[in-house]
Amino acid sequence: MLVCTNFDEDHMSGFPDLEERGITVGCILGNPTVPPATIVKLKTEDGHDNLGKGIEAVARSLAFRGSIGWQQVPPQIPGVNMIWTWNCYPHFEDENNLSLVFTLDVFGHRFMFPGDMECAGWRHLFANCTQFFPVVSGVEVLVAAHHGRNNGICPDMFGVYACKPKLVVISDDYKQFETQETTDFYGSKASGIYGFRTDTGVRKVLTTRCDGPLVFSFQGSNCVVY
């Protein structure tokens, strides 16, 4: 299974490499209200061609799968539960707020991958999907929306809907904008973990730009990151 949390090139740029290597993906899971033709439309409207090779390949594969009736059904994996939540097109017509919020429970540990969801999209989910409330409140590891940018923060998510992660992960290659100065905010919302690599103190926010690749390992009932 490949999860498309966002139909932007930085999320799907590796897909052509999978195809070139002959690696078959059984299920491509994305926002179900955004068909392949709409993906292309969103990337090429207003005379701007932002259809990168990765997104173009994903759209082409989804169109082919639909033409032969290949249903994109996630696999059943022992010990793993998957929940996915989305805003509908055309209520939103931007890729960020059409992100798929993908929540993964692995042996009782909950991870949330919200793509590039922005505050307006979060608020719409909370206003229209009461089933989402307990999903949010049970998150242990939150991947910060929109690579840690300010517009991915919805304060109500933490204050009203009781999201209390142990750890926040900011996934990005390097700091490009002032809007990525959100480490202190996320740190104030996380309870923290001990024993990360050689750190002797508590860590509340990890960033791939400083900490490099992060691996979560499941050892019995425990989850360890290194």
Sign of CA dihedral 13, 17, 20, 25: negative
For residue 177, the model assigns a pLDDT of 77
pLDDT digits (tens, 9 = 90+) for 178-219: 788 999 999 999 999 999 999 899 999 999 999 999 999 998
For residue 218, the model assigns a pLDDT of 92
Other CB atoms within a 10 A radius of the CB of residue 210 amount to: 11
Q: Are 207 and 214 in contact (CB under 8 A)?
A: no
Distance of CA 205 to the CA centre of its chain: 17
pLDDT at residue 47 tops 90: no
48 confidence band (pLDDT: 50, 70, 90) = low
3-state secondary structure of 1: coil
> Alpha-carbon distance 208 to 185, whole Å?
17
> Alpha-carbon distance 123 to 153, whole Å?
10
pLDDT at residue 49 tops 80: no
Q: Largest alpha-carbon pair distance within the chain? A: 55
The model carries a pTM of: 0.95
**Residue holding tokens 């061609």?**
49
pLDDT at residue 46 tops 70: no
Question: What single string gives the DSSP state of each residue in 52-102?
Answer: -HHHHHHHHHHHHHHHTT----PPP-TTEEEEEEEPPTTT--STTTT-EEE
On average, the pLDDT of the chain sits at 95
For residue 221, the model assigns a pLDDT of 85
Instruction: Name the more confident of 68 and 47.
Output: 68
| Residue 176 CA neighbour count, 13 Å, CB half | 8
**Average pLDDT over every residue of 73-93:** 96
3-state secondary structure of 224: strand
Other CB atoms within a 10 A radius of the CB of residue 123 amount to: 14
Cα-trace Rg, the chain:
18
- Read off the DSSP letter of residue 158: H
> Alpha-carbon distance 217 to 100, whole Å?
24
For residue 161, the model assigns a pLDDT of 98
Per 3-state DSSP, the chain is made up of helix, strand and coil in percentages (nearest 5) of: 35, 20, 45
Phi, psi of 123 (to 5 degrees): -65, -35
Query: Could you tell me the domains of the chain?
Result: 2-67 (no CATH), 80-225 (3.60.15.10)
pLDDT at residue 167 tops 90: yes
3-state secondary structure of 18: helix
Instruction: Name the more confident of 22 and 180.
Output: 22
163 confidence band (pLDDT: 50, 70, 90) = very high
pLDDT digits (tens, 9 = 90+) for 119-145: 999 999 999 999 999 999 999 999 999
For residue 180, the model assigns a pLDDT of 87
**Residue holding tokens 């939150």?**
142
